[in-house]
Structures are given as structure tokens and as C-alpha cells.
């Protein structure tokens, strides 16, 4: 992908792009996240795993401004973003996808991605209504960027098709393209492989690596352990809102606390 699509030219690693500092999220008497500390470095694929109800999606909602944490700080690119509105978090450089695909189903694939590109447009309603020159230029640039992103995720051939008519795997890819159109430094993927067949999952792994190789950071929730272990640089495990382990994939696979809580008893155990 070219510089014109807003993709960083170089991959960076080792510097935290996202830090969760003592994050606690309470809903009445329910503690969904309890004192969570995480540091996710630039240019890595970081996976967040755990049983259903462990608090993973709540973490995403806290990072993206859906929830304001009860306690703690969310620091992105050196600045606090906890308490910011969702559109402000997006403009800072954080984008996400969802467990259930959220597209504009009656719009074309191209139009869906152009909506994402609108996040950084400067023209207001008046400029759009009057068809002012800079608005027309933004529209042209937005279309070109959308076409490039559709090519990047592998659905360019379907750009004029209505989103609801796309195969499920292509809808997932389209949602990723729309998120990338906001030009994020950090992309959060919430169960992107859900409902995919083995071939689609293998292609998804390649796409996630391509995204990382553009210099972006990927934070991933996923239940498919073969995908997680095959693609992640580091993994953190949540259980009942608490982090019970963090480390390299090989370390997580052999962590007894993780096995007991989530991965299950080894097949050769007596």
C-alpha cells in the first residue's frame, strides 16, 4: 500500500503505543475488568484471549471510548484517551471491528469504505451541499483511498456490489478495510475469524500480517487457538476480568493456570 493511503512507511517495535494502567470497569456490583495492566508495543500483533465473559470486549470498549473506566488510565501514543468520545479516539488513530459484522448493508463495498475515509475530512455539511472545490477533492481522494484499501484486503473485484450480497468472509474483509480507512495506528480486531472456514482463516492470517507489516499495531481478540498461536507476537489471558498470564505463544501454551482456566486438559493427560 502506498504512502497516499496514509500507511506508515516503516515498521516500529519496542515502544508502547497503548498502555492500560490499573484499569477497572464496574457495572453496578459486577467487576468486568479488575486492575488490568497491559503495554502493547508499536508494530506487534498482540492477542487478548480468555473464556466467554472474561472481559475481553469490555477492554475494547474502554480503549475505544464506548466506556469510561471506573478506575485507571488508557494511554495511547503518550496521551491519555480515557474519557474521550468515540470519534475523538478514532481521530487519534484507533479503529476497531466487531464480533458481529457492522456494515451499511444497502451501500456498496466502495461506499462503505469511503464512509471510513470521511473520518478525517474537513468539509462540513455546508461545503458538501455547495459542492465546493475542496469538498470535491476530498471525495476524489476518499474514493481513491477506498479503492486502494479494497485491493489491499482482497475484495476490489466486488467494490460495486451491495455489502449485504457479499460472501461472509468478504464482509469481514470489508469491515477491516473500512476500519483501515480511518488511518489508524492501532487496529482492534474483535473475533475476526468467527464463522470463517479454514481457507478463509488462513487468508485472514495473511491479511493481519500484511496490516502489521505496514507499520500498524494489531490488538486481537479471537477464540481460534491455532490462529492465535500462529500469528501473535505476544498474548495476554483474561479470566473473570483479571490478567492471569502474559507472554510469548509458547509460554502461554504451557502455562498451567491458562490450561486450567481456558485451554483445557492436554489430550495425553491421564
164: exposed, middle or buried (Cβ count in 10 Å: 0-12, 13-18, 19+): exposed
In which element (H, E) is residue 116 found? Answer: helix 109-117
Residue 4 CB partners (closer than 8 Å, separation 6+): 144, 145, 148
Residue 251 lies in a domain: yes
Residue 120 lies in a domain: no
Here the CATH number for the domain that contains residue 46 is: 3.40.50.300
Phi (first) and psi of residue 263, to 5 degrees: -75, -25
Is residue 174 a contact partner of residue 112, using CB atoms and an 8 Å limit? yes
Mapping DSSP to helix (H, G, I), strand (E, B) and coil, where does residue 134 land? helix
Residue 11 lies in a domain: yes
3-state helix, strand, coil in the chain (%, to 5): 40, 25, 35
Residue 205 lies in a domain: no
Structural domain boundaries enclosing 236: 1-93+231-270
Is residue 207 a contact partner of residue 200, using CB atoms and an 8 Å limit? no
- Domains held by the chain: number: 1
Per-residue pLDDT of the chain (270 residues; tens, 9 = 90+): 443 343 343 444 578 999 999 999 999 999 999 999 999 999 999 999 999 889 999 999 999 999 999 999 999 999 999 999 999 999 999 999 988 888 988 999 999 999 887 755 455 444 444 455 655 676 788 889 999 999 999 999 999 999 999 999 999 999 999 999 999 999 999 999 988 999 999 999 999 999 999 999 999 999 999 999 999 999 999 999 999 999 999 999 999 989 887 766 444 443
Residue 172 lies in a domain: no
Residue 29 lies in a domain: yes
Amino acid at each position: 500500500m502506498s504512502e497516499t493511503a496514509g500507511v506508515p512507511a516503516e515498521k516500529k517495535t519496542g515502544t508502547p503505543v497503548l498502555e492500560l494502567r490499573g484499569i477497572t470497569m464496574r457495572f453496578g456490583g459486577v467487576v468486568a475488568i479488575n486492575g488490568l495492566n497491559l503495554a502493547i508495543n508499536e508494530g506487534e500483533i498482540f492477542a487478548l484471549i480468555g473464556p466467554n465473559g472474561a472481559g475481553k470486549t469490555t477492554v475494547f470498549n474502554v480503549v475505544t471510548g464506548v466506556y469510561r473506566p471506573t478506575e485507571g488510565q488508557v494511554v495511547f501514543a503518550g496521551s491519555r484517551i480515557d474519557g474521550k468520545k468515540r470519534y475523538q479516539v478514532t481521530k487519534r488513530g484507533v479503529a476497531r471491528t466487531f464480533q458481529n459484522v457492522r456494515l451499511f448493508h444497502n451501500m456498496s463495498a466502495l461506499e462503505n469504505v469511503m464512509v471510513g475515509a470521511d473520518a478525517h475530512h474537513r468539509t462540513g455539511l455546508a461545503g458538501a451541499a455547495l459542492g465546493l472545490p475542496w469538498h470535491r477533492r476530498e471525495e476524489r481522494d476518499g474514493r481513491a483511498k477506498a479503492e486502494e484499501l479494497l485491493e489491499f484486503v482482497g475484495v476490489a473485484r466486488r467494490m460495486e456490489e451491495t455489502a449485504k450480497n457479499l460472501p461472509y468472509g468478504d464482509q469481514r474483509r470489508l469491515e477491516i478495510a473500512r476500519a483501515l480507512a480511518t488511518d489508524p495506528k492501532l487496529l482492534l480486531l474483535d473475533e475476526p475469524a468467527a464463522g470463517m472456514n479454514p481457507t478463509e482463516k488462513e487468508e485472514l492470517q495473511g491479511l493481519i500480517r500484511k496490516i502489521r507489516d505496514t507499520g500498524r499495531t494489531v490488538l486481537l481478540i479471537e477464540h481460534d487457538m491455532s490462529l492465535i498461536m500462529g500469528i501473535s507476537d505476544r498474548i495476554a489471558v483474561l479470566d473473570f476480568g483479571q490478567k492471569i498470564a502474559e507472554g510469548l505463544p509458547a509460554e502461554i501454551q504451557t502455562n498451567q493456570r491458562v490450561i486450567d482456566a481456558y485451554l483445557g486438559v492436554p489430550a495425553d493427560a491421564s
